[in-house]
Structure 1
Amino acid sequence: MAGMLYLFHGEDILAAREALDLLLREKIPPEVWDLAVSRLEGESLTPAALIEHCQALPFLSPCRAVIVEGLGKRLEQKGEGEAFLARLRDLLPRLPSSTLLIFWERARLAATHPLVGLVRPLGEVREFTPPRGQDLARWIAQEVRRQGAEITPAACDLLAATVGTDTWALRHEVEKLVTYVGPGGRIDERLVDELASEARLSDIFALVDAIGQQRRARAMLELRRLLQAGHHPLYILSMIVRQFRLLLEVKGLPAGERRPEAVARTLGLHPFVAEKVVNQAQRFSREELQRIYSRLVEVDREIKTGRRDGEVALELAVVEVAGRQ
């Protein structure tokens, strides 16, 4: 019997994390995760190391889990990527029955991506797409109820317009709002406006503006303001990543569809946010946006895997991408 093989991909990181946690709980007792679960960084992983982890026998558990994050980009490269693919083609059909192998990509992979083509015939491919439009409003309402409160439709719409489709950031905002109103309380538009972020969103815009203008000192000042306001580094990072993802999406639109009203309609943004995004997108080339976005995703991984302290990682990233002024 072959091993268990999965590919998780897509931008809804919260949903992917929850699915991964559920899958691990189904297969391995949580009390032995430290011994039975290996997490590997795809950027530095060698084929030999992956094979070694996959062939290791489980200890105090019915199976062993191997989670590989961020391998997809390497597999698209010529030379090294092609060689890695060849090793995977040999490994995956012969995966030990006691091994649970999960590839996790924090971005959506095209149907033609080599990793999708490798996993689909042998295992399960799951795409995690963030909710949008009315689906996003329903997600917010359900999350508020799950945490023990109620929210008005207008408050749902405002929260979605302010925070966007990042469900991790939305959950953080909902926690703050529910804590404020208490169990059984009601969240309305006024409360969202007060607590959830016009000021914080303006600070995010100011930080991105400073990066676009290559004003390092100003960017660091805006970052420190966000940190001093008590926001968690991962929360700040999620908002910055979301902003640069929007800028990339705007750059990818045909020239005639980059007007604020068209962007608001196409990307499902509040008109105020769409206007700011359109103006900011003009400060960057597509290549600059891709470089910055890739660096921010790498910082996210560094923080979540404990390789770097959150505040330190954020400050280093801003220093790197914001120029010398």
Structure 2
Amino acid sequence: MSITPTAPITPITPTAPRPPTTPGPPVTEGHRVAVLALPGVLPLDLGIPVQTFGTDSHYRVTVCTDPAAGPVDSGGFTVAAAAGLEALRDAGTVVVPGYQDPDSPPPAAALAAIRSAHERGARLVSICTGAFLLAAAGLLDGRPATTHWQDAAALQRRYPRIDVRPNQLYVDDGDVLTSAGVTAGIDLCLHIIRRDFGAAAANARARVLVAPPQRPGGQAQFIDRFRPLARADGLGPVRTWMLGNLAHRQTVDDLAQRAHMSRRTFIRRFQQETGTSPMAWLTAARIDWARELLEATTTPVEQIARLSGLGSPAAFRAAFHRHVGTSPADYRGTFRTVKA
């Protein structure tokens, strides 16, 4: 593969069936990996499988494109791939990196090639919005999958038969594996090496990449916020009050009274405006506030538990881990912006 500077970018969307989940055949030395660069491929997403597998002696990597789709622009670069779609015929693993604008229809030849590779028994892997190609080919129907948290709602809306898991870093469903954005792609590639050749091989690659050797796929993506944005302003004043009183006890009955509504009407209206229940929205808002305190202050965890309204320190730690996938202490160690 060679990369030369240039200009802008292009895109992906829907169709078809799905085979049963299977882990695929055992992986042996010299395992062939084809990295499919679609129009508008994201440079970092493209580089992850090439760098992770391409310099590992266990694998043989080929970057390929659909020549009929023309030059592949990648954020100011043009990708000159070593092969066309025929590379998918011999690959044991096919990786689809993320690409710009997954709303546009994918090249028909790429869809056919990816379906054919899977029917033949190839393992399919997506990074970030690469999941949209697998979904368009019908290969995620009935399966759990993930993508970048910013695109998860669109993936679920467009392909309702997929079990979209927006909070997970990656999902291993045997012969089809999907990951969230950028660093989650590294996590998934290291997970694949661990699955193929063991922990020692994965740890060796992680050291070379200066990456954590293992982050479990179930860990939550570090998304901007957990509480859903409101789609209407009718209960806006009530939500503003809720945000200003997170440390205090709040019940649905009290909130309904504040909104001058019956309990039932309040819950229905709240659901219409936010897409979730009042208590789920409140818990997510408390988690968001706790994250801000962990990132921007040195406030002890015990005090954050009280300020966020999430209960005792033990209850706070449990709720935080359930939503974020890591402990408050580990989250602070990763994201703190002030010195102790």
By the TM > 0.5 criterion, same fold?
A: no
User: Greater Rg, structure 1 or structure 2?
Assistant: 2
Q: Which has the larger helix fraction? A: 1
Q: Considering Cα pairs closer than 8 Å and 6+ residues apart, tell me whether 1 or 2 has the greater RCO.
A: 1
Name the TM-score, length of structure 1 as normaliser: 0.30
TM-score by length of 2: 0.29
